[in-house]
Amino acid sequence: MKKPLVKTVNYFLLAAAAVMVLIPFFWMLGTALKSEAEALHIPPTLLPKTYRFDNFAKVIQTEPLMRYFLNTLIVSAFVVLISTMITVLAAYAFARLEFKGKDFLFAVVLIAVMLPQEIMIITNFMTIAKLKWLNTFRALILPYCVNAFNIFLLRQTMKQIPEDLYIAARIDGLTNFKYLWKVVLPVAKPTILTTMLLSMIWIWDTYAWPNLVTTQDNLRLISNGLKNAFTTSTGNIQYELQMAAATLVTIPLILVFVLLRKYIFSGITRGGMKG
Amino acid sequence: MAAMKRDRNPIHYDRAAYFYLLPALVLLAVFTVYPVINTLITSVKLDYRFLTGAFKGFSAGHYLEILRDKTFQRACFNTAFVAFVCAPASLITALATALLLNSIKKFRNFLTTLYYLPQVTNIIAAGMVFALLFNTNFGFINLVLSWFDIDPVPWISGVGIAGSADLYTRSYIRCLFILFVYSLWQGLSLKVILFLSGLQSINLQYYQAAQIDGTSQWNILRKITFPLLSPVTMYVLITSVITALKSYASVVALFGDAYGPIGDNSKMMITIVGYIIDSLDDYLSPGAISKASAAAFILLLIIVILTAVQFYFSKKWVHYK
């Protein structure tokens, strides 16, 4: 029905947009594979003349990038574990239980969703400094352990489970906790996985807070480590190594995304992502 | 349902609920609610010393001080540029892309995934790559320009800008352009997904009816698609403007810790969040934390006002089903 010309133009425009999106990735990977001399050649070559895969090995040897990866994994693992438990419990209370002050407390959660983290950074920094927690993993983990948006998202999912099921279960003598464990969790599993993934992406990208509360190399997260890598004090940058490091940091998250796309998309289309 | 509940009177209150909520509420109280209140109080404390907690009374002086601060004014302007120029531009581009994607079948999933890649790229890595793309000597952009016999453009360059207002302005405009291109690239992905899922939730019957009536493509877009998509548009607008108001890491990755090209000492590309974090750098000196708090509270006010304004106007042109 549609004119073939219109269709061709549509595909052409979409392909052009795809090329624009891919250019930075192309240049990152291309530069990462150049030799030191070629990376400093003026004008630059479009494609590397020789492919230097050992740049990646060099990056890992010269910068504690693996240490940064490990730190990020440790922090992500703790944050995901703790915040998932906290989120599931709170979401269940808001979705299923009756208690005094419910509306007020839920309003607090909704307001917390809207408040930007960046406003809290000053007081949280003071809190952490007063606790003498600067340069500890606790400082990196604890403030991320509660996520109002995840509570909201999970509560919406749990609300969709019919109340009759709950009443029947209670009549059968199931405790709240057993009901949550045996009935609610299996149903809410996809949403829980979504919140876990969003938390992981959050930690992977986080920059300002870790930069503020850690000064030691052995506590750095991946974004902070990458930011400071391969730039000499005079501002000279080893571009091929910097881009190789950027590639190494980029690939894991892209892999996670491609494999678990479904869960990430369902999370964002049901209420956006934290900024 | 309500009647049923009343039959089972009295409503059964579960005291266990508080145990379920306790961990979340404690953390929210410490890391979210208290910080907002404390930020407001700290911002009006005069000569506040972090280590002792001592201060010399209350005053709105810090607000006046930062409003007069050239660096804060610059931060406000740059932040406004990202929020009110870059974010709307990427919204329009994303809407157009989503409309195109919605009109095709083959490759739709593939392209959607591809467009989403910038969103899962580490923000620091992405900023570094863009800095290299626009590098005067080794950048891709100047390479492409050279194919058309255009001389290399010193995109991120601070040569001579300290002494010349004209050179400063030129350098500044080029940096804003880079930030614009970056924001477009980075912001597109999330918005395309949201618009596409909005478009796909529009009932096909509307389109079938319009087709029977012989309505033109443009009128279908204007009279059916845009009105029915307006709640999504509203949502995307609010969230993307708020996200833009919080810009920080991308600017640091693009322009470095000094927020500008080498040779610039005015923090040319600083944002409001950058200003807050810079004020924290010397948190031990009296008044520094109050200054940061005042800046944070101004940012919070802007975000709250914008959200309110957008919700108010949304009532006038958003069509909810």
Interfacial A residues in 210-249 facing B (CB < 8 Å): 211-212, 222-224, 226-227, 235, 239, 242-243, 246-247, 249
pLDDT of residue B101: 93
Q: What is the pLDDT of residues B246-301, one digit of tens each?
A: 999 999 999 988 899 988 888 999 999 999 999 888 888 888 889 999 999 999 99
Cα dist from B146 to A102, B139, B149, B152, whole Å: 64, 11, 5, 7
Superfamily of domain A62-269: MetI-like (1.10.3720.10)
CA distance B255 to chain A (A): 11
pLDDT at B144 over 50: yes
B32/A146 touch (CB, cutoff 8 Å), yes or no: yes
pLDDT of residue B252: 93
* B69-317 placed in CATH 1.10.4190.10: no
Looking at the partner chain, which of A28, A122, A261 has a beta carbon nearest the beta carbon of B113? A261
The answer to whether B168 and B160 have CB atoms below 8 angstroms apart is no
pLDDT of residue A232: 65
Residue bearing tokens 């403007």:
B241
B252/A39 touch (CB, cutoff 8 Å), yes or no: no
The answer to whether B251 and B270 have CB atoms below 8 angstroms apart is yes
Residues making up chain B, counted from first to last:
321
pLDDT of residue A275: 33
**Greatest pairwise CA separation for chain B in angstroms:** 83
Give the contacts of A155 (CB within 8 A, at least 6 positions apart). Answer: A90, A91, A94, A95
B20/A92 touch (CB, cutoff 8 Å), yes or no: yes
The answer to whether A86 and B23 have CB atoms below 8 angstroms apart is yes
Model confidence at A243, in pLDDT bands (50, 70, 90)?
Answer: very high
Query: Which of A159, A243, A50, A197 lies closest to B126 in space, CA to CA?
Result: A243
Q: What is the pLDDT of residues A111-167, one digit of tens each?
A: 888 888 888 899 999 899 889 999 999 999 999 999 898 999 899 889 888 888 888
**Cα gap A12→A15, rounded to integer Å:** 5
Looking at the partner chain, which of A86, A205, A223 has a beta carbon nearest the beta carbon of B23? A86
pLDDT at B234 over 80: yes
pLDDT of residue A234: 64
pLDDT at B7 over 70: no
Model confidence at A75, in pLDDT bands (50, 70, 90)?
Answer: very high
Give the contacts of B94 (CB within 8 A, at least 6 positions apart). Answer: B187, B188, B191, B192, B195, B236
**Cα gap B227→B231, rounded to integer Å:** 8
pLDDT at B93 over 60: yes
Averaged pLDDT for residues B110-119: 92
Q: What is the pLDDT of residues A83-110, one digit of tens each?
A: 999 999 999 999 999 999 999 999 999 8
The reply to whether B289 touches chain A by the CB within 8 Å rule is yes
| 3-state SS track over chain B | CHHHHHHCCCCCCCCCHHHHHHHHHHHHHHHHHHHHHHHHHHHCECCCCCCCCCCCCECCHHHHHHHHCHHHHHHHHHHHHHHHHHHHHHHHHHHHHHHHHHCCCCCHHHHHHHHHHHHHCCHHHHHHHHHHHCCCCCCHHHHHHHHCCCCCCCCCCCCCCCCCHHHHHHHHHHHHHHHHHHHHHHHHHHHHHHHHHHHHCCCHHHHHHHHHCCCCHHHHHHHHHHHHHHHHHHHHHHHHHHHHHCCCHHHHHHHCCCCCCCCCCCCCCCCHHHHHHHHHHCCCCCCHHHHHHHHHHHHHHHHHHHHHHHHHHHHHHCCCC
Averaged pLDDT for residues B63-92: 95
Interface test with A, best of B14, B15, B21, B257 (most A CBs within 10 A): B21
Tokens of B136: 């005067």
- Provide the whole-model pTM: 0.89
Domain boundaries along the sequence of chain A: 4-56, 62-269
Question: Which residues of B are less than 8 Å from A148 in CB distance?
Answer: 28, 32
pLDDT of residue B10: 54
To the nearest whole number, what is the mean pLDDT of chain B? 88
The reply to whether B280 touches chain A by the CB within 8 Å rule is yes
Give the contacts of A263 (CB within 8 A, at least 6 positions apart). Answer: A190, A193, A194, A197
pLDDT of residue B316: 63
pLDDT of residue B204: 85
pLDDT of residue B78: 97
- Is A237 strand, coil or helix? strand
Model confidence at A272, in pLDDT bands (50, 70, 90)?
Answer: very low
pLDDT of residue B250: 92
Looking at the partner chain, which of A7, A208, A239 has a beta carbon nearest the beta carbon of B138? A239
Model confidence at B142, in pLDDT bands (50, 70, 90)?
Answer: very high
Tokens of A141: 């983990």
pLDDT of residue A199: 87
Share of chain A above pLDDT 90, in %: 48
Query: Which of A37, A226, A146 lies closest to B131 in space, CA to CA?
Result: A226
**Cα gap A25→B159, rounded to integer Å:** 29
pLDDT at B318 over 70: no
**Cα gap A257→A265, rounded to integer Å:** 10
ipTM higher than 0.95? no
**Cα gap B120→A33, rounded to integer Å:** 22
Model confidence at A2, in pLDDT bands (50, 70, 90)?
Answer: low
* DSSP conformation letters of A88-135: HHHHHHHHH---TTHHHHHHHHHHHHHS-HHHHHHHHHHHHHHTT-TT
The answer to whether B289 and B41 have CB atoms below 8 angstroms apart is no
Q: For A110-138, give one letter per residue: b (16+ CB within 10 A) or e.
A: eebbebbbbbbbbbbbbbbbeeeebebee
Tokens of B75: 């931060």
pLDDT of residue B40: 92
Query: Which has more pLDDT, A149 or A82?
Result: A82
Query: Which of A133, A23, A8, A96 lies closest to B20 in space, CA to CA?
Result: A96
CA distance B227 to chain A (A): 19
Share of chain B above pLDDT 90, in %: 52
Question: Which residues of B are less than 8 Å from A120 in CB distance?
Answer: 31-32, 35-36, 39
Give the contacts of B155 (CB within 8 A, at least 6 positions apart). Answer: B134, B135, B136, B139, B141, B142, B174, B175, B178
pLDDT of residue B239: 84
**Cα gap A81→A198, rounded to integer Å:** 13
Cα dist from B4 to A64, A172, A174, B7, B8, whole Å: 63, 19, 21, 5, 7
Looking at the partner chain, which of B12, B115, B118 has a beta carbon nearest the beta carbon of A98? B12
Tokens of A187: 């149903």
Interfacial B residues in 212-241 facing A (CB < 8 Å): 235, 239
Closest B-chain CA to A175: B16
pLDDT of residue A63: 83
The reply to whether B314 touches chain A by the CB within 8 Å rule is no
Averaged pLDDT for residues A256-275: 71
The answer to whether B102 and B199 have CB atoms below 8 angstroms apart is yes
